[in-house]
Structure 1
Amino acid sequence: MNTASNSIAAMIMVITGVLLTMPGEVEAKNDWLKGTVQTGGTKHSKPKSKVRVTLYEATEGSPIVVGQTTSKKNGNFKLKARKNQTDSIFFVTANVGYGDEYVAILGPKLPPEVTINELTTVAAAYSMAQFYRTGEISGNAFSLQIAAMMAENIASARSGRTSEVLQKSPNADQTNSLRTVRSLSNLLVATTDNYLIRSTLMYLTETDSGERPRNTVVALANLARDPSWNSSYIYWLTKVKRVYTPVLHQEPDAWVVTVKVNDSGDDAFLFGGPANVAFDSRGYVWVANNVVQGTPNSARNIMVLKPNGKPADGGPGLPTSPISGGGILGVGWGITVTPDDHVWVGNFGWGDLKPTESPTDDDANGSTSLISPAGVPLSVPIGFFGGTLRVQAIKLDADGNVWSASFDNDKVVMYPGGDPTNPREVDFAANSAPFGIAVAPDGAVWVTNSGGLSGQHQSSVAKIILNNNGDPVVEFSHDVGETLKVIAVDSMGNAWFASQKNHTVYAYAPDGTQIGAYTGGGIYGPWGIAIDGEDNIWVSNFGPLELDNVLTQGRLSKLAGANPATRPLNTSIGTPISPPTGYTVQSAGEEVLLHDGTPLNGPDSNLPSYVPMMRQTSVQIDQAGNVWTVNNWKPKIATDVLGFDSGTIDEDGNPGGDGLIIFVGLAPPPK
């Protein structure tokens, strides 16, 4: 059934109220969806009567009407649905006034009941932000299902209340997202009550091309995608009504909604310096993890999360978090997923562990490890040894070759077809310390040579190609930057890489010509780089590497990319899009806790931390446009804007951060 047929069917359903079975479809069992439309409040709510309620099934075109009714005097409704499950998602809307629409995201199966109010609308707008670009929810079914899971992390569609995830550690008032969601809900209360507030919101959330949103939920989706635009004016609009509490007490740098996660699946193996994440075809999140929490020593586990950030708990062919074995030992930055969902990781080794290439050493940390889609180690107990020594980045090319940045012996090592018994090597100068690897659309491989973790030696960027014999050779190499870290390649083949020590992001053309060097947008000690589906650039910031430097919080930055057709209007390549602070996550006044309930800096620490977003080493974008960043290192002691001591790296050298931060719906999913 094509999109035009879907649209015509939906139109007929709306006009006639008759539910049709399209040709070629098997008529599904009718089911009832019961629910309530209400305008909210944390303690009290009011019903919305005589409101048109419509149940939709999302598609890649216009959504299909599945059922429709009108709410009663008490706000309750009951509608007959043509089907009760879908390969995509259901959502339900309530037209509460001209230009005012409430929405609740239901997922692939109809729940027994639903509540539609301002909280569920904020959850819908942010989780579906990347799928609201046409003014209605539209997109790939798999991506929509991941987005629906994230909506439940913000508000419960069944109860209409803020989710348990936001109400509890590591969120609650350890971050400002709970209060952000309630402040935005108050804004929707105000737009319903006051036409002037509603029209002002529409004006403030026009797209950069000047297109005004058709209703309030689309306005919030526009805000979710561009959260710093007119942020001060939005803040004052949120203060007009105060029926949802608690609220923000100061203006945020941007209207981002985040979900912080730190449950590894087993509190005996807490997160300790997560460094990078990779997504498999099922949306599962595989997490490289540096150290044992509370120590400077190598972790022997990696973590796996479901698409909503909860720990993977098994099932047929599915992993259970955390995972150990197969040589996993202090995984550095390198983790990558093959098309058939096998996972490669690079073992770096931390603490007093010495680098070794010895295959007989129980603590060998020069190896790579391979894990099955179900989380079963496939490598030998100390991992695969094929010329690698302390691996950082590890990547897969289109031919199945596995490329590793072998940091401690100044090599890039390629396993042809993933075979570690037949390695091919590229040697770089002594002290090059390769760190980042990226595969270009033409199959070439870019590498950043860091010059050492703290930039003791010259950094460089190089491009590697395969010769006629299938051996990797360096096409060119250029000295550039200071302490290079992660590199990524856009759809046009341009390489973007982070220069941590001089707070700069560089861009190079495919022929090795430097395009530019960029700063701003909160870039401060950049480390991680990701390219979104519009070829714009995302940067996670570590801050200064030196331990005697103060960094009160991590930050996420965004730069305009090289494609003039997809970057924001009136920007040029490298223009900062994020605010000068970057996108941050502030504390609302509660101490940051580990998942087991102990303080970030240990149970005996008298230095509480109030910094939920810490030193960042990676940024990755999932299939629904959620931006994942990692708390790799703890913050140094400082006094933040609330006047609290922000915490310190433990004196015994315990840098390991506590989990991951998810910026909901912020970026176009990579293609």
Structure 2
Amino acid sequence: MRTNTPGRRLLGAVAVVTASVFALAGCWATADGDAEDSAVSGSVVPVVDGAPVSGWDVSVWSAGTEGEPAAQIGSTSSDRDGDFVVDLGSVSRDDDLVYLLATAPGGDDTTMTATFAAIIPTDATAVVLNERTTVAAGYALAQFTGPEGVEGSSPGLPNAASMYANLVDAQTGDYGAVLTSAPNGTQTEALPTFTSLTNILSACVLDTDACRVLVDAASARSDDRPVDTFRAFAQIARDPSAAPSELYDLSLTVAGDRPGLMAAPAAWTLALRFDGDGQTLDGPGNFAIDPDGNIWVNNNYEYG
């Protein structure tokens, strides 16, 4: 294997190469104060107007493992303040990837409304679902998301889910610190691309016709039509060049809180750049992929 060059920056595709692993679960509350999960709480607050929304159907899911589909473990509706609490039952926050879906009212067999998604990290004391969390979840979990939900094995699935916190703050629904700071921030196209993607979903929140355009574009080169807007973004991540102009035009219908892309991209690729710490692995020269899809990299040099 080739010796790595010290100080090289590693550019990682969000949907494929991920950063360090963290366990996933919800913010929890128990009567006796033990470590077992019993409930997850949060708020549905669209970015497009910043106001909490009531009457959204909220469901909590445990991701499936190989051969086992994702399982719904609870459901409720957001109240007039956009808040909700959902029981987690016997799901272990140490062993299971838990995620939330929230769907706007008014949908039927012919009309699709917006569906928000969020991954629930163990250190969250509250969670928010909005356009940013949905794009972040769709891109982070793209490889493992299908019509039946999120499904995958370790270490691939938890590695993918760990990218979520780099894109978005789970507790506030704001942009993630890694996305907004060097060597990302104003130095790459990741932040304006992410903003344009959230604007696309904001358009769907305001107009159900935009939801149809979003899903049509996401499935432009696929026979598999996404069943909701969360899965639409996962599909865009898997095939980012399918309909770049259509999606860009949709992004312009809503003014985001940050500048988005100035022109339609060739592909909706969302990538983050990472700096090493000068002491550990930084810029692998070669890597190998085993039959299970795991990436193996040797830390085969001393920084100097």
Contact 1:33 1:110 survives alignment (8 Å): no
Q: Which residue of 2 aligns with 1:168?
A: 181
Alignment of structure 1 residues 568-647 onto 2, 5 Å: none
1:177 CA drift (Å): 0.6
Distance 1:154 1:67 in 2: 26
The yes-or-no answer on 1:240 pairing with 2:245 is: no
> Of 174, 180, 200, which aligns to 1:187?
200
Partner of 1:111: 124
Task: State the SS of the aligned residue for 2:297.
Answer: strand
Structure 1 or 2: more helix by fraction: 2
Aligned to 1:91: 99
Provide Cα deviations, 1:213-271, integer angstroms capped at 9, x if missing partner.
111111111111110111111111111101331211122111011011122344xx895
Secondary structure in 2 aligned to 1:276?
coil
Q: Give the letter for the 1:199 counterpart.
A: R
Tell me what 1:275 maps to. Answer: 285
- Amino acid across the alignment from 2:58: V
Q: Contact between 1:279 and 1:286, CA under 8 Å: does it hold in 2?
A: no
The CA deviation at 1:275 is: 2.4
Aligned partner of 1:57 in structure 2 is 62
1:101 maps to what in 2? 115
| Aligned amino acid, residue 208 of structure 1 | R
CA distance in 2 between counterparts of 1:274 and 1:253 reads 27
- Tell me which amino acid in the other structure corresponds to 2:229: T
Q: CA separation in 1, counterparts of 2:63 and 2:124?
A: 16
TM-score (norm 1): 0.36
Q: Contact between 2:220 and 2:243, CA under 8 Å: does it hold in 1?
A: no
1:436-459 deviation per Cα after TM superposition (whole angstroms, max 9, x unaligned): xxxxxxxxxxxxxxxxxxxxxxxx
Question: Which one-letter code corresponds to 1:206 in the other structure?
Answer: S
How many matched pairs? 260
Q: Which amino acid aligns with 2:285?
A: A
Indicate which of 40, 46, 52 corresponds to 1:47.
52
Counterpart residue number, 1:66: 73
Give the number of the structure whose alpha-carbon radius of gyration is greater: 1
CA displacement 1:302-345 (0-9 Å, x = unmatched): xxxxxxxxxxxxxxxxxxxx6x8xxxxxxxxxxxxxxxxxxxxx
Distance 2:288 2:140 in 1: 20
Q: Secondary structure at the match of 1:39?
A: coil
Superposition pairs for residues 656-667 of structure 1, below 5 Å?
none
Correspondence 1:342-357 to 2 at 5 A: none
8 Å CA contact retained: 2:215, 2:226: yes
Q: How many angstroms apart in 1 are the aligned matches of 2:97 and 2:272?
A: 22
> Structure 1 residue aligned with 2:84, among 77, 86, 95?
77
Alignment deviations for residues 51-107 of structure 1 (CA, whole Å, 9 cap, x no partner): 121111111332222222211111111222213514230001111242321000125
- CA displacement at 1:278 relative to structure 2: 4.8
Where does 1:193-272 land on structure 2 (aligned, <5 Å)?
A: 193-206=206-219, 208-266=221-279
User: Structure 1 residue 279: deviation in Å?
Assistant: 7.0
* 1:32, distance to aligned residue in structure 2 (A): 2.7
Partner amino acid, structure 1, of 2:203: A
TM-score after normalising by structure 2: 0.77
- Partner Cα distance (1:126, 1:163) in 2: 14
Q: Confirm or deny: 8 A CA contact 2:69 2:148 kept in the other structure.
A: no
When residues 141 and 55 of structure 1 are mapped into structure 2, their CA distance, relative to the original with a 3 A threshold, is: farther
For residues 114-193 of structure 1, the aligned pairs below 5 Å read 114-193=127-206
Letter in 1 for 2:175: T
Tell whether the 8 Å contact from 2:70 to 2:148 is kept in structure 1 after alignment: no
Identify unmatched segments of 5+ residues in structure 1.
1-27, 290-299, 302-321, 325-671
| Correspondences of 1:530-549 after superposition (within 5 Å) | none
Q: Provide closer, same or farther for how the CA distance between residues 278 and 195 of structure 1 changes in structure 2, counting only shifts above 3 A.
A: same
Cα distance in 2, alignment partners of residues 181 and 240 from structure 1: 16
**Matched residue type, 1:106:** I
Residues 30-53 of structure 1 deviation map (CA, whole Å, 9 limit, x = unaligned)? 523221111015xx6111111121
Q: Is the 8 A contact 1:132 1:221 kept in 2?
A: yes
- Contact kept in structure 2, 1:105 and 1:157, CA below 8 Å: yes
Q: Is the 8 A contact 1:275 1:288 kept in 2?
A: no
Where 1:179 maps in the other structure, the secondary structure is helix
Higher relative contact order (CA 8 A, sep 6+): 2
CA distance in 1 between partners of 2:176 and 2:218 (Å): 26
> Structure 1 or 2: larger strand share?
1
Work out whether residues 277 and 288 of structure 1, in 8 Å CA contact, stay in contact via their aligned partners in 2: no
TM-superposition CA deviations, 1:447-477 (whole Å, max 9, x none): xxxxxxxxxxxxxxxxxxxxxxxxxxxxxxx
Q: 1:164 is matched by which residue type in structure 2? A: A
Deviation (angstroms), 1:166:
0.6
- Render the CA deviation track for 1:479-531: whole Å, top value 9, x for unaligned: xxxxxxxxxxxxxxxxxxxxxxxxxxxxxxxxxxxxxxxxxxxxxxxxxxxxx
Supply the RMSD in Å over aligned alpha carbons.
2.8
Rounded to whole Å, the distance in 2 between the matches of 1:249 and 1:131 is 31
Deviation digits for residues 344-374 of structure 1 (CA, Å, limit 9, x no counterpart): xxxxxxxxxxxxxxxxxxxxxxxxxxxxxxx
The separation in 1 between residues aligned to 2:146 and 2:220, in whole angstroms, is 10
Once the 2 structures are TM-superposed, how far is the Cα of residue 146 of structure 1 from its aligned partner?
0.9
Q: Equivalent residue for 1:37?
A: 44
CA distance in 2, matches of 1:96, 1:70: 10
Letter paired with 2:52: P
Shift of 1:114: 0.6
How far, CA to CA, are the matches of 1:119 and 1:30 in structure 2?
26
CA-CA distance at 1:274 after TM superposition = 4.8
The answer (yes or no) to whether the contact 2:147–2:227 under 8 Å persists in 1 is no
Secondary structure of the residue aligned to 1:115 is: strand
